[in-house]
Chains A and B, each alone.
Chain A
Amino acid sequence: MMSNMTNPTMISDSHAHTQEPALKMEGVSIYYGSTPAIREVYLDIPPHQITAFIGPSGCGKSTVLRCFNRTNDLIPGAQVKGNVFFHGVNLYSKKIDPVEVRRRIGMVFQKPNPFPKSIYENIAFGARINGYQGNMDQLVENSLRKAAIWDEVKDKLKESGLSLSGGQQQRLCIARAIAIQPEVILMDEPCSALDPISTLRIEELMQELKAQYTIVIVTHNMQQASRVSDKTAFFNAEATEQGGKLGYLVEYNDTVNIFTNPKQEYTRDYVSGRFG
C-alpha cells in the first residue's frame, strides 16, 4: 500500500477507531425543488461491512446513497436537509469541499462508465488529478489486481476501456474507484446491467474488498442483498397528496434478521416477494 500519500484533509482517519459507524445519517430529508423525495432517514453504516439498500423502484434508495458522497449536489434543484456524518464530521457543513468528500468516498454506477481512454489511463486519471506521488505503474497494477481484472487486461493496458465486455468494464470502474484509495465505496446497482456470471464475480469481489473498504450497495435484487450484505436497509415509498412519491426507511437491521425475522409487515411482504 502507498503510505507516502500526502493528503491535506479535514476529515479524520478511519483506522483509529473502527467501532464507530463509518457513516451516519441523522434526519436526512431530500427535496427536488420544493417536492420532498425522502423523509427523515436515520441510519448508521458500520465500517468494513457491506450494507445493502433494498426496496421497490422509485423509493429513493439511490438518492439516499448519493448523499454519502454529495453527488446529489450535481443535480439541479436537489436539496439535502439533515446531517450526514463521516467519522463524526458533518459532510454538509459549509467548511467541507464536496470534491474532497468524493475523493474519500468512491462510487460505482449502475451502468459501467469507463472513460474513453486506455485501460491504464482509466485507473491513472483519478490518481494523477489528486496528486498521487508514488509509482503510477504499481498503483495501476495493484488497483486492477484488487478488482480481480488484472489477469484479463495486463497484456492490453493501452487498449480503450470501452473495448472490454460489460462485466469487465464494471470491474474496471471498481478498480478506478479503488485507485484513489477511498475508505468507502458506494455501489449503485452495480450488477443490474450485467449477466449472472459477471454478477457473481462482482459479488465475490465485494467480499474480498470489505476487509479494506466500507461498502454500501443499492440493489433491486433481494437475493443479491441476502447473499452479499451484512446489514440491510429496506426503503419503501408512499404516495403523496401532490401525486409524487415520498421514500422513507422502513426497517434497518442485520441482513439475517431482515430476511428471516422482519419486524415490519411491509418488510415481510417485500422480502417474501408479495410486492415490489
Chain B
Amino acid sequence: MKSHPSPLARSQDAQMWQPKRNLSKWSEQLVKYIFAAFALISVATTLGIVFTLIFETFEFFREVPIFRFLTETQWTPLFTNAKFGIWVLVSATFMTSVIALFVALPVGLLAAICLSEYASPRVRQWLKPTLEILAGVPTVVYGYFALLFITPILQTFIPGLKTFNGLSAGLVMGIAILPFVASLSEDAIYAVPQSLRQGSYALGTTKRETITGVVLPAALSGIVASFVLAVARAVGETMIVTIAAGSNPTLTFDPRVPVQTMTAFIVQVSLGDTPATSLAFKTIFAVGMMLFLMTFVLNIFSFWFVRRFQEKYE
C-alpha cells in the first residue's frame, strides 16, 4: 500500500517513512461523529424530560387553576372533593430537608476539615473511603433504618412521636447525604495550595487561625457548592421519606407527626392504579415540575456562586 505523495519536500530516505493513513481522513471524522452522538444522548434525555414535564404540567393547569394550586391548604387529589394545595407537600419536603441539613452540613464540614487538615496521611487514607461507603448504602436501607431503628429510640424520650414522622426521616437523610458534603468539601479544602498555608504560618498564626482565616475562605466556593448539592439531594430524596415519614399530607412543621413530601406523593401515585389519563395522574407531573424548579434554581445559584467566588491560582 503506497501513501499519497506529500507536496512537502522529502528527505533522502523518504521510503523508510510511509504511515498507513489512507483512511485517516474518514476515521478521524467518524470518531468525531460517534462521540458527538453519545454527547447528544444526555442532552436529548434532559430535553425530553423537561418537555414531558412542561407538557403534562400545562395539561394539569388547564383543569386546575394555578391559583388553587398555590393557595389551598389541603392536598387531596385522590378524593372526590379534590384539593390541590401544593404547600402541604412543599412544607413536608422543606421540614425534612432542613432537619437533614442540620445534620449533614455541620458534621460534613467538620469531617472534611478533620480529614484534610488534621488527619495523618494514614488515617486519611482509611477514613475517606470509609466515609464514601456511606454514600453507597442503598437509600431503602436508610429508610428502614430510620423506621425500625431510629424512630423507636427517639420514641423513648420524645413523647407523642408517631411511628411515621418527619424527624426520624430527616435525621437519617442527613446521615445519608453527609458523605457528599464531607467528600466534596474535603476536595475543595485539600485543593487549597500548600503555599497559602505556609504564607499564613509565616505571619505567626496558629493552625486553627490558618484554617479559619485562610484555608476555609479560599475553599469557600467549593464548600458552598457541596452545600447546594446537599440541599438538592435532600429535596429530591425519595425512599427514606417515603418509608419513614409516612404518606399523610398535612400542612405542618411539627416533626413528630406523619407528613408526605413531594417525592413521597409521586411514589404513592405511581405505585397505585391511577389511570394514566386521569387528573390525579397529571398531578405528579405538576409536583415533579415544582421539584424540578426548586433544584434548578439551587443549581443556578450554585453555578453563579462558584463563578463569582472561585479563586484562580496558577
Stretch at the interface among A88-96, A109-117, A268-276: A109-117
| B contact residues around A116 at 8 Å (CB) | 196, 217-218, 311, 313
Given contacts A129-B209, A129-B213, A162-B313, contact A113 B204 (CB under 8 A): no
Q: Does B206 contact A (CB under 8 A)?
A: yes
- Chain B residues touching A, majority SS: helix
Instruction: Quote the shortest CB–CB distance from B210 to chain A (angstroms).
Output: 9
* 25 interchain pairs, CB-CB under 8 A: A71-B198, A71-B201, A74-B201, A99-B204, A100-B204, A102-B202, A106-B202, A106-B203, A109-B195, A111-B195, A113-B193, A115-B199, A116-B218, A125-B203, A126-B203, A126-B204, A129-B203, A129-B205, A129-B209, A130-B203, A160-B311, A162-B312, A173-B199, A176-B199, A180-B204
Are the C-beta atoms of A103 and B199 separated by less than 8 Å?
Answer: no
Instruction: Choose among B198, B202, B217 the residue that contacts A117 (Cβ–Cβ < 8 A).
Output: B217
Are the C-beta atoms of B204 and A102 separated by less than 8 Å?
Answer: yes
A-B contact count (CB 8 A): 70
Chain B contacts with A in 247-277, Cβ cutoff 8 A: none
For the complex, count residues of B whose C-beta is within 8 A of A: 20
Instruction: Choose among B203, B206, B209, B217 the residue that contacts A177 (Cβ–Cβ < 8 A).
Output: B203
Q: Does B214 contact A (CB under 8 A)?
A: yes
Q: Among B198, B202, B313, which residue has the most Cβ atoms of chain A within 10 A?
A: B202
Give CA–CA (A176, B200) in the complex, Å: 10
| A contact residues around B196 at 8 Å (CB) | 113, 115-116
| A contact residues around B203 at 8 Å (CB) | 102-103, 106, 125-126, 129-130, 176-177, 180
Are the C-beta atoms of A102 and B201 separated by less than 8 Å?
Answer: yes
Q: In this complex, what residue of B is CB-closest to A107?
A: B202
For the complex, count residues of A whose C-beta is within 8 A of B: 28
Give CA–CA (A103, B206) in the complex, Å: 10
| A contact residues around B213 at 8 Å (CB) | 125, 129
Give CA–CA (A106, B200) in the complex, Å: 11
Instruction: Quote the shortest CB–CB distance from A172 to chain B (angstroms).
Output: 11
Given A116-B196, A129-B203, A177-B202, 10 additional A-B pairs, CB 8 A: A74-B201, A102-B201, A103-B203, A114-B199, A116-B217, A126-B203, A129-B204, A129-B209, A173-B199, A180-B204
| B contact residues around A129 at 8 Å (CB) | 203-205, 209, 213
Give CA–CA (A222, B209) in the complex, Å: 38
Given contacts A99-B204, A99-B205, A103-B204, contact A113 B198 (CB under 8 A): yes
Chain A contacts with B in 45-79, Cβ cutoff 8 A: 69, 71, 74
Q: Among B200, B204, B205, which residue has the most Cβ atoms of chain A within 10 A?
A: B204
Give CA–CA (A254, B122) in the complex, Å: 48
Given contacts A113-B193, A162-B312, A180-B203, contact A74 B198 (CB under 8 A): yes
Give CA–CA (A173, B213) in the complex, Å: 16
Chain B contacts with A in 285-314, Cβ cutoff 8 A: 311-313
Contact with A along B30-44 (1 / 0, CB 8 A): 000000000000000
| B contact residues around A173 at 8 Å (CB) | 199
Give CA–CA (A162, B205) in the complex, Å: 21
Give CA–CA (A125, B217) in the complex, Å: 12
Give CA–CA (A128, B205) in the complex, Å: 10
Q: Among A126, A160, A176, which residue has the most Cβ atoms of chain B within 10 A?
A: A126
Give CA–CA (A20, B313) in the complex, Å: 42
Instruction: Quote the shortest CB–CB distance from A175 to chain B (angstroms).
Output: 12
Chain A contacts with B in 113-153, Cβ cutoff 8 A: 113-117, 125-126, 129-130
Q: In this complex, what residue of A is CB-closest to B203?
A: A126
Give CA–CA (A44, B217) in the complex, Å: 40
| A contact residues around B198 at 8 Å (CB) | 71, 74, 109, 113
Are the C-beta atoms of B199 and A109 separated by less than 8 Å?
Answer: yes
| A contact residues around B204 at 8 Å (CB) | 99-104, 126, 129-130, 180
Are the C-beta atoms of A71 and B217 separated by less than 8 Å?
Answer: no
Instruction: Choose among B201, B206, B209, B214 the residue that contacts A115 (Cβ–Cβ < 8 A).
Output: B214
Q: In this complex, what residue of A is CB-closest to B313?
A: A162
Q: Which 3 A-B pairs have the closest CB atoms?
A: A103-B204, A126-B203, A116-B311
Instruction: Quote the shortest CB–CB distance from A3 to chain B (angstroms).
Output: 19
| B contact residues around A180 at 8 Å (CB) | 203-204
